[in-house]
Amino acid sequence: MATTINYNSSNPRVLIIGAGLAGAEAANFLANRRVPVVLYDLKQCRHTTTGQQSGLGELICSNSLKSKELGSAHGMLKYEMKGLDSLILQAAEEFSVPAGGALAVDRHKFSQLITETLCNHPLIELIDGQEVCDPPACALKHQCSHVIIASGPVTSSKLESWIGQQAVVKSDNLYFYDSIAPVVNAESLNLDQLYYKDRHLDGSAEREADYLNIPLNKQEYLELVNDLLAAQKVPLNKFEKPKYFEGCMPIDLLAERGVDTLRFSCMKPVGLELPSGARPYAVIQLRRENLLGSAYNLVGFQNRLTHGEQLKVFRKVKGLQTATFLKLGSVHRNTYINARESLDYTMQSNQIRGLYFAGQISGVEGYTESAAMGLYVAHQLWQRLSKPETLPSQWPCETAIGALVNYIMTWERPTPSNINFGLMPPLDVTPVKGKKRWEVKKLKKELISVRAQQAFDKFIISSVDQGVTI
């Protein structure tokens, strides 16, 4: 039988556990609508006039929030997040770094703005450096009527244990493995062996290109593949099964799938022709990590190699012979749940009413997806608080957020997913004579994007009519 968190329901307060992307969005959304929030985070933040040693909304893996083009799936998601007054997008746009059609950010400044915004909000009480092991008990302590668990991919073991013990989820669906790519000091790169170019864009004007590229011939590529295969890997714990997310697969594991796998994925040379016009056999791309351009991320080079092996293997690659690595790649354990079995469409627990899950722990993958789920849950909760007699709105599947929710609530085999056109309802496009297949495919994506924007705008207007102020 389900239990209920219902303390002080006449004067709602919301307890949010985790101040990452989803927790930050949920806290900001609710507080801006006059709902008091108690925000817990394990990170010990240092709030000083000169900045903080550690901030909220930290980007653990890449510094890219993917495409900002409206005709892309990630562009659709950003459109909807903006419509919900996303704090994450505000910070990202203010501190973006050049990355072609992608939205990449200066990690420190991005986190700093999020931290300052949340810390200075009069309706947000931040309690940092403390672990929540029993959410209902913590809610009772602060007289909170609802709880949002937004603890992210690296949920603490005690909180994870509580989730399992309460039968909120099945323990064997509580994790998969994710990876981090290395970051190098820009001054340590041998730029004579690299070239500037964005995929499929003219790289003749170097100042207009955002990516640095390392071209490899066949021999250099095969040597790198062999080195990755032979390198010593960090072993998993004996009791853990390796369940990796396909969208962030370790580069050494991809190499095990076949000699050409890498050059058809993260090292694809298509659209990255050399200044001479020749196409390399494979390409390693480097993306800016900060506004100064003092650090670069090796795109797609997340891996399981030991630190010593990473230095040995990557410094054999031209351009990286004297590279100083500011951060080396690693593999970490991520926590997520099977929403289909454990939650309703508002992301509320079936076992403990008043308890919600938001962000990556709900079963999505990616920065913007996690942040969007924080906004989604906050919006659903706000509807419940502002007009209790009204049933929560089920978002249209034609929207990007609605498609994500529909996916995690209907999957048969739990597999975290990024937003993509495959999650959207199909759209028939009448064949156009003379148009090539790729042209029809592009047209279909554009039409799906327009449909998503229209569905979202109509849904938001409907929400306002129901008494929910956006």
Show pLDDT as tens, one digit a residue, over the chain (470 residues).
466 666 555 678 999 999 999 999 999 999 999 999 999 998 765 443 333 346 888 887 788 899 989 889 999 999 999 999 999 999 999 999 988 888 989 989 999 999 999 999 999 999 988 889 999 999 999 999 999 999 987 788 888 888 877 655 555 555 666 677 898 988 899 999 999 999 876 544 444 688 999 999 999 999 999 999 999 998 866 555 666 666 678 899 999 999 999 999 999 999 999 999 999 999 999 998 877 678 898 999 989 999 999 999 999 999 999 999 988 888 777 778 888 888 899 999 988 889 999 998 888 888 999 999 999 999 999 988 888 777 777 899 999 999 999 988 887 666 678 888 888 888 876 666 666 777 777 888 889 999 999 999 999 877 654 444 44
Q: What pLDDT is stored for residue 294 in this prediction?
A: 80
Residue tagged 């327009």 (tokens): 450
Phi, psi of 15 (to 5 degrees): -95, 125
Let me know whether 301 and 343 are in one domain: no
Q: What is the CATH number of the domain that holds 397?
A: 3.50.50.60
Let me know whether 248 and 392 are in one domain: no
Let me know whether 313 and 345 are in one domain: no
Q: What pLDDT is stored for residue 434 in this prediction?
A: 66
Asked whether residue 470 is assigned to any structural domain, the reply reads no
Say how many domains are in the chain. Answer: 2
Other Cβ atoms less than 10 A from the Cβ of 146: the count is 25
Beta strands of 28-119 (E only): which ranges?
37-41, 64-67, 96-97, 102-105
Asked whether residue 357 is assigned to any structural domain, the reply reads yes
Name all contacts of 69-75 with Cβ < 8 Å and 24+ positions apart.
69/101, 70/449, 70/453, 71/442, 71/445, 71/446, 71/449, 72/445, 72/449, 73/400, 73/418, 73/419, 73/420, 73/421, 73/423, 73/424, 74/368, 74/418, 74/419, 75/449
- As a whole number of angstroms, the distance between CA 375 and CA 369 comes to 10
DSSP state of 84: T
Asked whether residue 379 is assigned to any structural domain, the reply reads yes
- As a whole number of angstroms, the distance between CA 398 and CA 394 comes to 12
Q: What pLDDT is stored for residue 15 in this prediction?
A: 97
Let me know whether 170 and 204 are in one domain: no
Let me know whether 458 and 405 are in one domain: yes
Let me know whether 378 and 400 are in one domain: yes
- As a whole number of angstroms, the distance between CA 432 and CA 249 comes to 38
Phi, psi of 195 (to 5 degrees): -145, 150
178, 216, 101, 154: which is closest to 361 by C-alpha? Answer: 154
The residues that bridge with 233 in the sheet, in sequence order, are 305
Query: Which amino acid, one-letter code, is at 413?
Result: R
Q: What pLDDT is stored for residue 237 in this prediction?
A: 63
45, 64, 63: which is closest to 54 by C-alpha? Answer: 45
Let me know whether 361 and 306 are in one domain: no
Q: What pLDDT is stored for residue 123 in this prediction?
A: 97
Q: What pLDDT is stored for residue 146 in this prediction?
A: 95
Asked whether residue 373 is assigned to any structural domain, the reply reads yes
Query: Which segments of 273-366 does DSSP mark as H helices, in order?
Result: 307-314, 339-342
Q: What pLDDT is stored for residue 460 in this prediction?
A: 85
- As a whole number of angstroms, the distance between CA 249 and CA 179 comes to 7
Let me know whether 445 and 433 are in one domain: yes
- As a whole number of angstroms, the distance between CA 312 and CA 308 comes to 6
- As a whole number of angstroms, the distance between CA 369 and CA 350 comes to 23
Q: Where does a domain end: 333, 352, 373? A: 333
Q: What is the CATH number of the domain that holds 228?
A: 2.40.30
Asked whether residue 193 is assigned to any structural domain, the reply reads yes
Identify whether the C-beta of residue 359 lies closer than 8 Å to the C-beta of residue 22.
yes
Q: What pLDDT is stored for residue 246 in this prediction?
A: 67
Let me know whether 254 and 344 are in one domain: no
Structural tokens at position 305: 């190699």
Q: What pLDDT is stored for residue 153 in this prediction?
A: 73
Asked whether residue 16 is assigned to any structural domain, the reply reads yes
Q: What pLDDT is stored for residue 205 in this prediction?
A: 45
Q: Where does a domain end: 305, 333, 361? A: 333
Asked whether residue 125 is assigned to any structural domain, the reply reads yes
Let me know whether 120 and 261 are in one domain: no
Q: Where does a domain end: 333, 368, 387? A: 333
Let me know whether 235 and 356 are in one domain: no
Q: Annotate 99-135 with b (16+ C-beta within 10 A) or e (fewer).
A: bbbbbbbbbbbbbbbbbbbbbebeebbbebeeebeeb
Q: What pLDDT is stored for residue 140 in this prediction?
A: 92
Let me know whether 171 and 188 are in one domain: no
Asked whether residue 431 is assigned to any structural domain, the reply reads yes
Cα–Cα–Cα angle for 241, 244, 250, rounded to 5 degrees: 120
Q: What pLDDT is stored for residue 161 in this prediction?
A: 82
Q: What pLDDT is stored for residue 470 in this prediction?
A: 41
Q: 356: domain range?
A: 3-175+335-465
